[in-house]
Structure 1
Amino acid sequence: MSCLRKNIGQGIRLAISSILVLSLLTVGTPASANPATGSIPVGQSATQVLGTLTVGVKSNASSDRKSHQWNKVVGKTGNYTTRDLVLERDMDNVTYTSRGNVNTGILLEPYTGKTIHFQRGQSNKTEGGSASNRDGGIQIDHVVAYAEAYRSGLDKLDFAQRDAYYNDPDVLLASQAEANNVKKDGTIAEWEPSNQTFQCDYASLQIGIKAKYGLMVDQKEHDKLAQVLASCPAETIISTSQVKQRLTGGTSGSNTTGNSDDNTNGSNNQSNQPNGSTSGKNNSHTTNKHHITSTKKNWVKNLFNGLLKRFF
């Protein structure tokens, strides 16, 4: 009997190994290894790119937003995640914790035009933070909100591609927590920045992101985007990496270079970032490859752990 139990146990382990190998061979390379997405069309006319977007009726599907989290950034030590990458890119005077997280910095906030003095782990209620959320008064906003993107066509991509969207710096912007909480998952027809000088750039960012991921707009959203751009017909598509320079002296409607790597320290120098400074070029393909690698590792780990729990 003990010999029989031993043989059964060995058989189960062999079956698990076989299933794992077959899984890796058949679906181990997610579709996102060759993303069905392009890049931000930086420098192109925002009005012309808007004309290429599909106008349609969005789905009412509930998104899987809670299934995603900030990924650790490949090539960084400690706990440095996508959130830290965006904070470092968008802020000045950045310092770090001993574990690699962004600890302090100063943000010229795009949605309100206010200055936020970020301190990791503080609520910063006086500068737009929430007393119940110790995020330093800054949240990382998906410029095209994840749930809204999901209803606009992101739901047709696989999980790894959606995770790449969730962690894509091209989609993300450091913003005041209060403003982001009011925005929620609204389109530009439902919410736009109170900072009047940023509204054209905000429309440009939304159009560029939707173009990159092949997302649709509904009629109200399209009309609002067109209305905003009518006040700045020379507006060109920008990326989120160019926002800081726009706010500190760049010219709206022109193609500017990305932010420099001032105020960095040690191993966290921004020039080593997967999505560092740009000069009219887009590094999103490289960034996506990093996030796809991270997602694939997590996928294999979750598959193996799930099989162990099921059989043992």
Structure 2
Amino acid sequence: MKNKLLYRSIPAIIMLGMLSTGVPANAADATGSIPVGQSATQVLSTLTVGVKSDVSSDRKSHQWNKVDGKTGNYTTRDLVLERDMSNVTYNSRGNVNTGILLEPYTGKTIHFQRGQSNKTEGGSASNRDGGIQIDHVVAYAEAYRSGLDKLDFQQRDTYYNDPDVLLVSQAEANNVKKDGTIAEWKPSNQAFQCDYASLQIGIKAKYGLMVDQKEHDKLAQVLASCPTETIISTSQVKQRLTSGTSEGNNTGTANNNTTGGNSQNSQYNGSTNSKNNSHTTNKHHTTTTKKNWVKNLFNGLLKRFF
């Protein structure tokens, strides 16, 4: 009899626990998606303008996750390298070994080879990074100060490994960028500056992150030169760079030598594979988050009430 009462009480206890701890039932669904194709200026107007925190991030607590369905040691890093480069080869462990990158921040071409420093094309002096790094377009530490710290660890890990947030970039440029906002750093490649602003706005919209006033004003200033700019995702960058598609102004005239806009109809070559890989990765993170949240909640309630 006592056991029957216990089992009947568990659902009520769980609901009481949610109410007492203030945890929403959909805690794992705190993010949306990149609003691709929407006006960048309009999406910017929906972002919260506020004062960011000055807390230190937990960036060192995260690492590249292995990707479901891939063999060997293939991680999120390899997924993004494969997506953004051409002529990609792999080593015996399944990692991307070589490739050619048309680099968005500088406009230069980088010949990547895993484990080599490649200083002549912008590699780090102290790292064997092949001339490239995987950049969080909205830097993790900056995102953390902009509201990412309000999400739980698994959601922050999803951000860290989200292909929508990541872009292959020149190591030297990324090291100069650090965790700066667009008010503190922007690409030297003039033709990519509008797309860069678009990427940042889209990522902040997806994760509900704020902008400070200087950042907001700089984004608005960049978009003033390309008022027809629409939100793009990182999976579209390679195609845009290789095709040279650019609106550049409100007449829609292509201009690759000035600050570039984008074409709403442009699509990333091989986008089907990229989107499927991204979807698989994010689905895995979401499932893991839900399982961990339910497990931790249930264990906590058992300890609390019994």
Identity %: 85
CA gap 1:275/1:143 in 2 versus in 1, 3 angstroms: farther
Provide the aligned length of Structure 1 versus Structure 2: 262
Query: How big is the shift at 1:293?
Result: 4.2
Name the residue aligned to 2:265: 256
Paired position in structure 2 for 1:221: 215
Higher relative contact order (CA 8 A, sep 6+): 1
Q: Could you give the per-residue CA deviations for residues 278-312 of structure 1, whole angstroms, max 9, x where no partner exists? A: xxxxx65x542123346678999xxxxxxxxxxxx
Unaligned stretches of 5+ in structure 1? 1-25, 262-269, 277-282, 301-312
Contact map agreement 1:50 1:207 (CA 8 A) in 2: yes
Of 22, 45, 49, which aligns to 2:43? 49
2:174 aligns with 180
Residue 136 of structure 1 pairs with residue 130 of structure 2: yes
| Structure 2: gaps (5+ residues) | 1-16, 19-23, 247-260, 295-306
Change (3 A) 1:160 1:142: same
Q: Does 1:107 align with 2:101?
A: yes
- The separation in 2 between residues aligned to 1:222 and 1:148, in whole angstroms, is 14
Matching of residue 150 in structure 1 with residue 124 in structure 2: no
CA deviations on 1:241-290 (whole Å, 9 max, x unpaired) are 000111112233321343223xxxxxxxx8555645xxxxxx65x54212
TM-score by length of 1: 0.78
Aligned pairs for 1:188-199 (under 5 A) are: 188-199=182-193
Report how far residue 47 of structure 1 moved.
Answer: 0.2
Give the SS at the match of 2:186. coil
8 Å Cα contact 1:94/1:105 also seen in 2: yes
User: How far apart are 1:35 and its partner, in Å?
Assistant: 2.0
**Take 2:28 and 2:210, find their aligned partners in 1: how far apart are those partners?**
21
Query: Shift in Å at residue 80 of structure 1?
Result: 0.3
Q: CA–CA distance in 1 between the matches of 2:239 and 2:273?
A: 19
Aligned partners of 2:32 and 2:221: how far apart in 1?
26
Q: 2:53 aligns with which of 43, 48, 59?
A: 59
Choose which of 226, 232, 235 in structure 2 pairs with 1:238: 232
Contact kept in structure 2, 1:129 and 1:176, CA below 8 Å? yes
TM-score calculated relative to the size of structure 2: 0.79
Matched, 1:93 2:68: no
**Pairwise mapping of residues 18-29 of structure 1 onto structure 2 (< 5 A)?**
none
Output the CA distance in 1 between the equivalents of 2:284 and 2:269.
Answer: 21
CA RMSD of aligned residues (A): 2.7
Q: 2:77 aligns with which of 58, 69, 83?
A: 83
**Equivalent of residue 159 in structure 2, options 165, 168, 171:** 165
Change (3 A) 1:227 1:109: same
Specify which of 70, 92, 113 is matched with residue 119 of structure 1. Answer: 113
Question: The residue matched to 1:72 in structure 2 has which SS?
Answer: coil
Is the 8 Å Cα contact of residues 139 and 175 (structure 1) preserved in structure 2? yes
Task: Letter of the 1:94 partner, please give it.
Answer: V
Give, in angstroms, the shift of residue 186 of structure 1.
Answer: 0.1
Number of the residue aligned with 2:194:
200
